[in-house]
Amino acid sequence: MSELFGGVLAAGAVRETVADAAWLQAMLDVEAALARACDAPADVAAEISGACRAERFDIAELGAAAAGAGNPVIPLVRALRSAVSLAAAEYVHKGATSQDILDSAAMLVAHRALGPLLDDLMGAAEAAARLAEAHRATPVAARTLLQQALPTTFGLVAAGWLTALDQAIDRLAEVRSHRLAAQLGGAAGTLSALAPSTVGRLAAELGLTEPILPWHTDRTRVADLAGALGTAAGVVGKAARDIVLYAQTEVGEVSEGRPGGSSAMPHKRNPVAAVSASACAAQAPGLVATLLGAMAQEHQRAAGGWHAEWRPLRTLLLSTGSAAYWLRECLTNLRVDPDRMRANLSLTGDAMMAERVAATLAPSLGVDAAHDKVRATLASGQYLADAFPEVDLSLDTGYAGSLVDTAIRHHSSRETL
C-alpha cells in the first residue's frame, strides 16, 4: 500500500498487523513454535526462538530471493539456519514444507489483525446503539427507491446498522475462534517426517485451531475468513452509504462533527469518514471473489492458486479494517439534526399518510378502489386531511420505538468478545 493513499485506504490499527514486518514475524513465530513442537532440546528451541526476530532479517532481500524460490519461506529458512548453530539448524523447519509455514503465518496474521478490526466494529456498534437510544422517537422519512415512503425514526435506522454490525462481529469472532487453523502436513500432506501429535502441539503453541487434516489444497478456511470479512465490509458500506445520503446538502439530516473540507470550495463540509469507509468497503467484493476463485487447487499442492491468495488476503484484511475504523470515527462523531428531519417530512404535505387513509377506506370501498381514490386525491393537489377529515393523520412511526428497544436489548445481552 502506497503511503500516499495510506491515510485514507490503510487507516486504523489493522495496518501494522498486516505490514511486511508483521508477516515476516508471523513466519518466524511459526518456525520457533515448530521447533518447540518437534521436541527440540530446550536450549536448541530457545536458540531458534531467540533468532526468530523480524528485525534481524532484510525484508527486501527475502522478497527478491522469493522470486527465484517461488515463495519467501525458502530464503527465510536458509537465512534462519545460518543465524543459529549447527545443532540448532537441524531443528529449523524440521519436517515442514514452505506452505506449512506461510499458511500458518497467514492464519496467525489474520488472528492478530482481527483483534483491532473487531475492536473498531464493536466501537461502531456501540456508537450506533447510542444513536438508536438517543433518537428512538426522532421522526425521519423512510426512503424506498430513494423516495420518501413512510415516517420512521432515526433510532430505528441506527438500530438497523447496530444489528447488522452485531451479526458481522459474531461471524468474524466465530471464524477467529474456530476456523483459523495451524497448517502442518510436510511435503505432500502425509506428515512423513513428523509425528501426527506435532500438529496439535504446533496449534497450541500458536494459539490457533488444530485441523482434522492438513489443508494444503482445502481452502475452505481461507474462504470462510474471506466471506466473513466481505460481509463485515458490506455492513460497514451500507451504513456509510446511508450517512453520505443523509448528509447531502438538499437533505442535511446528519453531518460529521469533524473537518471535511474541499480543495476548491471553502464552504464544503464533506462527510469524509463516511466516504472513506465506503471507499474501503467497496474494495472487498473483488478481493473476496479472487480468494474464492483460487479455491480450485491441483492435487496435493497448488500450482499458482495458493500464491494467488497472498496479496488479496492481506489487502482484504487491510480494507475491511480500514472501513471499520472509518465507520467508528463517523458514528462516534455523527451529528443529527431532528429539526431538518421533521422539516423534510413535510415536503410532500401529508402524502406519507396515504397508506393509513387507504387502509381506513378499504373496508367500505375495497382495497383497489381505496388506493385509486387516495391516488386521485393526491394527484389533484388536495391534502389528505382536507379530503378525508374522518381519518386521524397524526404522525405515526408504527412500532419503531419497540423495534429499537428490541435491538438495544439484544445488543446489550451479547457476550463480550
**Together in a domain, 337 and 231:** yes
pLDDT along the chain (417 residues), means of 10: 84 97 98 95 97 97 94 97 97 97 98 98 98 98 95 98 98 98 96 94 98 98 98 98 97 85 54 97 98 97 96 98 98 97 93 92 94 94 92 92 98 82
**Together in a domain, 245 and 370:** no
Buried b (16+ CB within 10 A) or exposed e, 129-159: bbbbbebbebbbbbbeeeebebbbbbbbbbb
Residue range(s) defining the domain that contains residue 363: 351-392
**Together in a domain, 133 and 261:** yes
59 within domain boundaries: no
Q: What is the CA radius of gyration of the chain?
A: 28
**Together in a domain, 309 and 367:** no
Q: Which among 177, 192, 262, 346 is annotated as catalytic?
A: 262
- Euclidean distance between CA atoms 139 and 150, whole angstroms: 10
87 within domain boundaries: no
> What pLDDT, on a 0 to 100 scale, did the predictor assign at position 259?
63
**Together in a domain, 277 and 370:** no
Q: Which of 199, 148, 83, 117 is nearest to 341 (CA)?
A: 148
Q: Based on the number of CB atoms within 10 Å of its own CB, is 209 exposed (0-12), middle (13-18) or buried (19 or more)?
A: middle
- Euclidean distance between CA atoms 131 and 334, whole angstroms: 9
Q: Which of 331, 344, 194 is nearest to 271 (CA)?
A: 331
295 within domain boundaries: yes
**Together in a domain, 243 and 118:** yes
Find residue 254's DSSP bridge partners.
336
193 within domain boundaries: yes
Active site residue 314: no
321 within domain boundaries: yes
Q: Are 183 and 104 in contact (CB under 8 A)?
A: yes
Active site residue 409: no
> What pLDDT, on a 0 to 100 scale, did the predictor assign at position 263?
43
Q: Which among 143, 301, 340, 342 is annotated as catalytic?
A: 301
**Together in a domain, 244 and 382:** no
**Together in a domain, 208 and 231:** yes
> What pLDDT, on a 0 to 100 scale, did the predictor assign at position 91?
96
407 within domain boundaries: no
- Euclidean distance between CA atoms 234 and 165, whole angstroms: 10
Of 276, 311, 341, the last residue of a domain is: 341
The tens digit of pLDDT for each residue in 139-174 reads 999 999 999 999 999 999 999 999 999 999 999 999
Of 305, 320, 341, the last residue of a domain is: 341
> What pLDDT, on a 0 to 100 scale, did the predictor assign at position 3?
82
Q: Based on the number of CB atoms within 10 Å of its own CB, is 303 exposed (0-12), middle (13-18) or buried (19 or more)?
A: exposed
> What pLDDT, on a 0 to 100 scale, did the predictor assign at position 268?
52
DSSP classification of residue 415: P
Query: Which CATH number fits the domain that encloses residue 221?
Result: 1.20.200.10
Q: Report the domain count for the chain.
A: 2
